[in-house]
């Protein structure tokens, strides 16, 4: 009988809720390579999970060249909506460069043509 009581209590024990996935951190200000012109180039994959990285930190006013490469045959990612609102074609496995200036404050975003996947360029005032 004692085992039955233990089994009943064990079966009624509350399950621990699953842990939330950690929020993705911004790619550091040092991510990418800086050319002789002072423009930092950051490679971004447009893949099955969206954009990677999807958060790019930068110094306010810093010039960036985001190089998008689509690696998945998904119509959604076949177009990119740039921070200035233009639609740009992203052909499969071909690098497409998009010039962006890090805002003075806050962030500017980019998205797929269907607005399902998003990414941002974030001003990192600590690095200014």
Q: What is the CATH number of the domain that holds 46?
A: 2.60.40.420
Answer yes or no: is 41 within a domain: yes
Q: Is residue 12 part of a domain?
A: no
The number of angstroms, rounded, from the C-alpha of 119 to the middle of its chain's C-alpha atoms is: 5
Does 84 reside within a domain?
Answer: yes
List the domain range (segments joined by +) for residue 90: 26-127
pLDDT tens digits, one per residue of 20-74: 555 556 666 667 888 889 899 999 999 999 999 999 999 999 999 999 999 999 9
For the chain, how many structural domains are there in total? 1
Q: Do you know the residue count of the chain?
A: 128
Token pair listed for 113 = 């043509």
Q: Is residue 19 part of a domain?
A: no
> What global pTM score does this model have?
0.76
CB atoms closer than 10 angstroms to residue 100? 19
Q: 32 in a domain, yes or no?
A: yes
89-112 pLDDT, tens digit per residue, is 999 999 999 999 999 999 999 999
């Amino acid at each position: 009988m004692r085992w039955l009581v233990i089994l009943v209590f064990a079966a009624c024990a509350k399950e621990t809720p699953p842990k939330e996935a950690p929020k993705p951190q911004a790619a550091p200000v040092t991510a990418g390579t800086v050319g002789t012109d002072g423009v930092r180039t950051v490679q971004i994959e447009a893949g099955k999970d969206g954009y990677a990285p999807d958060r790019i930190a930068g110094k306010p006013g810093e010039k960036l060249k985001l190089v998008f490469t689509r690696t998945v045959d998904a119509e959604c990612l076949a177009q990119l909506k740039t921070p200035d609102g233009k639609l740009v074609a992203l052909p499969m496995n071909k690098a497409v460069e998009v010039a962006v200036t890090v805002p003075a404050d806050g962030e500017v975003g980019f998205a797929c043509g269907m607005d399902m996947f998003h990414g941002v360029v974030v001003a990192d005032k600590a690095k200014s």
